[in-house]
Amino acid sequence: MVVHAHQGKVQIRSDLMRVNGRTQGLARNIRKIEGVENIEAERGSGMVSFTYNPDLYPSQVMEYRVERLLSDCFKCEDRKRNAASDMGKVAKIGMGTTMAGMIWTGFRGEKDAHVATGSAFAAFAVIHMVQYINRLFK
């Protein structure tokens, strides 16, 4: 992740930072570090470079701090992704279960139960659709 680091200058590049404004988010967090003077973030290349006052930190310390920021940034994204994945699994299982119940109650002629399972299926389908809404309208 940290491509280049020596007294007063650090460059970071990663393909993972090209997604969802991670480059800008990392740049905002780096600005909060005392002694950071100039920062440039390029979303297209996934690169962040900055200069800092080398009298405040040795290059190894600054590199360590930046690596921690990167690690925290990606952990947060991973947690969000895992929660979304779990919700997707729940929606798919719910759709499958309620679809089976809806078909079963329809064949048996149980109108109230058929309508109830159909409504539950629709609710799970909406949950599933909301997760993929950005992909639907690209």
Q: Collapsing DSSP states into helix, strand and coil, what is residue 109?
A: coil
Mean pLDDT, the chain, whole residue set: 80
Q: What is the pLDDT of residue 12?
A: 83
Mean pLDDT along residues 63-89: 70
What proportion of the chain, given as a percentage, has pLDDT over 90? 15
User: In this predicted structure, what is the pLDDT of residue 83?
Assistant: 61
Query: What's the rounded Cα separation, in Å, for the pair 138 and 88?
Result: 20
Q: Which of 58, 59, 55, 45 has the alpha carbon at shortest distance from 12? A: 45
Per-residue confidence (pLDDT) for residue 116, from 0 to 100: 93
- Name the band, by pLDDT with cuts 50, 70 and 90, for residue 59: confident
Closest CA to 43 of 23, 69, 26, 20: 23
Tens digit of each residue's pLDDT (9 = 90 or more) over 79-130: 555 566 677 788 888 888 899 998 999 999 999 999 999 999 999 888 888 8
**Is residue 23 within 8 Å of 41, Cβ to Cβ?**
yes
pLDDT at 6: 75
Residue 73 has what pLDDT? 67
Q: What global pTM score does this model have?
A: 0.50
* pLDDT score of 79: 55
